[in-house]
Amino acid sequence: MMTDNLFLKIINKQIPAKIAYEDDLCLAFHDINPQAPVHVLIIPKKVIRTHEDIADADRDVLGHLHLVAAKLAKQLGLEEGYRLIVNCKEQAGQTVPHLHMHLLGGRDLTWPPG
């Protein structure tokens, strides 16, 4: 297990975060550098380095992350739409080695993203 993982430190309450949702499988918190009026990171409590590292055993937790994203989108007033992003590895913009989903909304989101 990675002891220097920033998100693991947030899960373990070693670093404070503005928590939007938490249960036994995942944690969701507001990004400290938001790219939209609503920018929440949704992370599994199980450490999975990247999307490339998911396994059949992770099926339930990955589905759960999507259910939590939909629930949060509703609670955060994103009725007009939102975007879910999963970056895989550094070249795609993943900066923390812990699988995470970005929930973005609250403004028009253009395409392509970058």
User: Which listed residue (39, 51, 64, 100) is catalytic?
Assistant: 100
Query: DSSP characters for 41-108?
Result: EEEESS---SGGG--GGGHHHHHHHHHHHHHHHHHTT-TT-EEEE---SGGGT--SSS--EEEEESS-
Is 64 annotated as catalytic?
Answer: no
Catalytic residues, by residue number, are 100
